[in-house]
A and B are shown apart, each in its own frame.
Chain A
Amino acid sequence: MKNKFQVNNAILLVLVAALAVFPFVSDSRTWTILLTQIFIFSILAMSYDLLLGYTGIVSFGHAMFFGMGAYATAIMLNRLEPTLSVFFLSIAVGMVIAGVISFLIGLLTLRLKSHFFAMLTLAVSGLFLVLAEKWRTLTHGNDGFTFRAPEFFKDRMMFYLLVLACLVLVYFFLRRFVHSPLGRVLIAVRENEQRTKSLGFQTLHYKVIASVVAGVVASLAGSLYAISLRFVNTSVLTMDITLDALLMTIIGGVGTLIGPIIGAGVIELAQHYLSGLAKEHPIFERWIIFFGIIYILAVIFFPKGILGTIQYAFWKQKNKIPKVDVAAPSRKELTK
């Protein structure tokens, strides 16, 4: 057990090291930006998977927390001054707002059965979208506004490294979280909520905790996203963001933390290349069509997602081995 754990950690560290070195080796601006984007959406997708994959909560309103982070950072950098300290402060402010709001919404809505909850999250996030559209003095509505990022991020590489560091931190934090006794109860809630209750766990508390953590992490992703564009508008609050997170989670592998990262990579890369193909054939301008098809095929043929399917294959192989071992002693006896 321990061995496998260490091997996995070693692989992860090598990967992280390779990614950290990458911008020093390659000066491809496109790749640095693309990878930054992938990391940001990985953070968002992981936070979404905490709800969907670990706790079994389907939320259609996750974008609102992403948007809160994005607006917190954009507004504060715009109104105050574009310095690093304001940036970090804005991340904290976004997180606190997202935490408080997700706590309140969770407390009110998580009592409901799953599909009613899903609909309510849709409604609430719609509310925030309308709020951002109408509160023009603060948000400039649909048009949004540009702002100056801290000087430090003028160098794309620095921002890349910061986002990578955030991704690694969030990953290890969430991994500890889902492997804590509390995390085990979240999984139990996903499996059988009523039974979890009858074991004496107040499941509502657990669901609220999960949604607060997910909301706070999503807000961090939003803050980073705003910096990456140096621009924010209401699109950060739209359903598209939630759908992206959902898609990444499902394609990568629900109920794992690495899965959403893989999913974010696959989708961002596919998006990049498919839209690039538009020069070859105009149909690729509608790359979202291909996404629909990929999505349908993935759900039908790989319901466990990329990582889940691989894990299952390994698991099947591993569980085959003992059967061979059982037969082995008799063979040994024969050769005696």
Chain B
Amino acid sequence: MEPILRTENLTIKFGGQTAVDHVDFVMPEKHFKSIIGPNGAGKTTFFNLISGELKPTEGDVFFRGESMANYSSVIRTRKGLGRSFQITNVFPNLTVIENVRLAVQSKEQIRYRLFRHFTAYKDLHIQAERLLEIVLLSGKANAFANQLSHGEKRKLEIAMLLALDTEVLLLDEPTAGMSLEEVPAILDVIKQIKQTGNKTILLIEHKMDMIMDLSDSIMVLFNGRLLADGTPTEIMDNETVQSAYLGGLYDEHLA
């Protein structure tokens, strides 16, 4: 069966620096894969290449067997590659519900209509409200996004991603910068999404317990290269991975 998402030789160079280095990866449908690796390993860059924010120097991304090379991030989102951002990226001066409603509007393909008042599209509002319930933000629906705490903004980010209802979800460190007590709520949300069973999820995270708990497979990036890809237990037993994390490869590389 054709995997839903695949990269071939995916490479990007910034000047002399190779941030993502010939990565071949395969993502079966409805699979949950986590990406780990030390800071600067190229995880977010890899996401940017998949979602179309960056153009690869070499190689290509395939979604359902179709080359994405000529598609901008806009088209990729419409085709089914949705992403959340590591650095919170919402509409600061709009209310929470409006943030989500915009995403729902995109999913419903209400793009160029200008004859009816937006409140006439009740369904958008209802869907947005339901999503806020899922991420436990209902109470903040009418607050402005810039009034939210960091953790709440992360939840909003997830609600917006869910609103797009894309087949593939690219989650870039959904718990980044969150306090410990806020993490379980996000974890629950991600678990819920996983349990519905119709999404393919790619997750970047640092919290190992969370990754072990959720992932069907884990891939390890190191200096832009794909170091290993396997089930959680395989990865934990992998010596190269261990040394990468324990510092062996670090020292070797720096020397």
Could you list which residues of chain A lie within 8 angstroms of chain B, going by C-beta atoms?
A: 176-177, 179-185, 187-188, 191-192, 194-203, 205, 209
**Shortest distance from the beta carbon of A274 to any chain B beta carbon, whole Å:** 35
Q: Which 9 A-B pairs have the closest CB atoms?
A: A200-B77, A180-B114, A191-B91, A200-B106, A182-B114, A200-B78, A199-B106, A181-B110, A181-B113
The reply on B205 being an interface residue by CB < 8 A is no
Known contacts A182-B113, A199-B77, A200-B78, then 16 further A-B pairs from the complex at CB < 8 Å, ordered by chain A residue: A177-B114, A180-B114, A181-B113, A181-B118, A181-B121, A183-B118, A184-B101, A184-B118, A185-B105, A191-B93, A192-B91, A198-B73, A198-B74, A199-B106, A200-B107, A205-B112
Chain B residue numbers with a CB within 8 Å of A203 are 74
The reply on B117 being an interface residue by CB < 8 A is yes
Chain B residue numbers with a CB within 8 Å of A188 are 91, 94, 102
Chain B residue numbers with a CB within 8 Å of A199 are 77, 102-103, 106, 160, 164
The reply on B242 being an interface residue by CB < 8 A is no
Q: Which of B161-208 contact A (CB under 8 A)?
A: 164
The reply on B60 being an interface residue by CB < 8 A is no
Chain B residue numbers with a CB within 8 Å of A183 are 114, 118
The reply on B230 being an interface residue by CB < 8 A is no
Chain A residue numbers with a CB within 8 Å of B118 are 179-181, 183-184
Chain A residue numbers with a CB within 8 Å of B90 are 192, 195
**Shortest distance from the beta carbon of B140 to any chain A beta carbon, whole Å:** 14
Contact A191 B116 (CB under 8 A): no
**Shortest distance from the beta carbon of A172 to any chain B beta carbon, whole Å:** 12
What CA separation (Å) do A160 and B116 show in the bound complex? 30
Could you list which residues of chain B lie within 8 angstroms of chain A, going by C-beta atoms?
A: 51, 53, 72-74, 77-78, 83, 85, 89-94, 98, 101-103, 105-107, 110-119, 121, 124, 160, 164
What CA separation (Å) do A194 and B124 show in the bound complex? 22
A194-B105 CB under 8 A given contacts A181-B121, A200-B77: no
Chain B residue numbers with a CB within 8 Å of A182 are 111-114
Q: Which of A180, A192, A205 contacts B117 (CB 8 A)?
A: A180
Smallest Cβ-Cβ distance to A177: which chain B residue: B114
Smallest Cβ-Cβ distance to A203: which chain B residue: B74
Q: Which of B72, B103, B116, B160 contacts A180 (CB 8 A)?
A: B116
A179-B117 CB under 8 A given contacts A191-B94, A195-B89: yes
What CA separation (Å) do A191 and B116 show in the bound complex? 22
Chain A residue numbers with a CB within 8 Å of B110 are 181
Q: List 26 A-B contacts (CB under 8 A).
A: A179-B117, A180-B114, A180-B116, A180-B117, A181-B118, A181-B121, A183-B114, A184-B98, A184-B105, A185-B102, A188-B102, A191-B93, A192-B89, A192-B91, A192-B92, A197-B72, A197-B77, A198-B73, A198-B89, A199-B77, A199-B102, A199-B160, A200-B78, A201-B106, A202-B111, A209-B112
Chain A residue numbers with a CB within 8 Å of B115 are 176, 180
Chain A residue numbers with a CB within 8 Å of B77 are 197-200
**Shortest distance from the beta carbon of B177 to any chain A beta carbon, whole Å:** 18
Contact A201 B91 (CB under 8 A): no
Contact A185 B83 (CB under 8 A): no
Q: Which of B51, B94, B121, B124 contacts A198 (CB 8 A)?
A: B51
Chain B residue numbers with a CB within 8 Å of A202 are 74, 111
A181-B73 CB under 8 A given contacts A191-B91, A200-B78, A200-B106: no
Smallest Cβ-Cβ distance to B108: which chain A residue: A181
**Shortest distance from the beta carbon of A94 to any chain B beta carbon, whole Å:** 22
Chain B residue numbers with a CB within 8 Å of A179 are 117-119
Chain A residue numbers with a CB within 8 Å of B94 are 187-188, 191
What CA separation (Å) do A203 and B102 show in the bound complex? 13
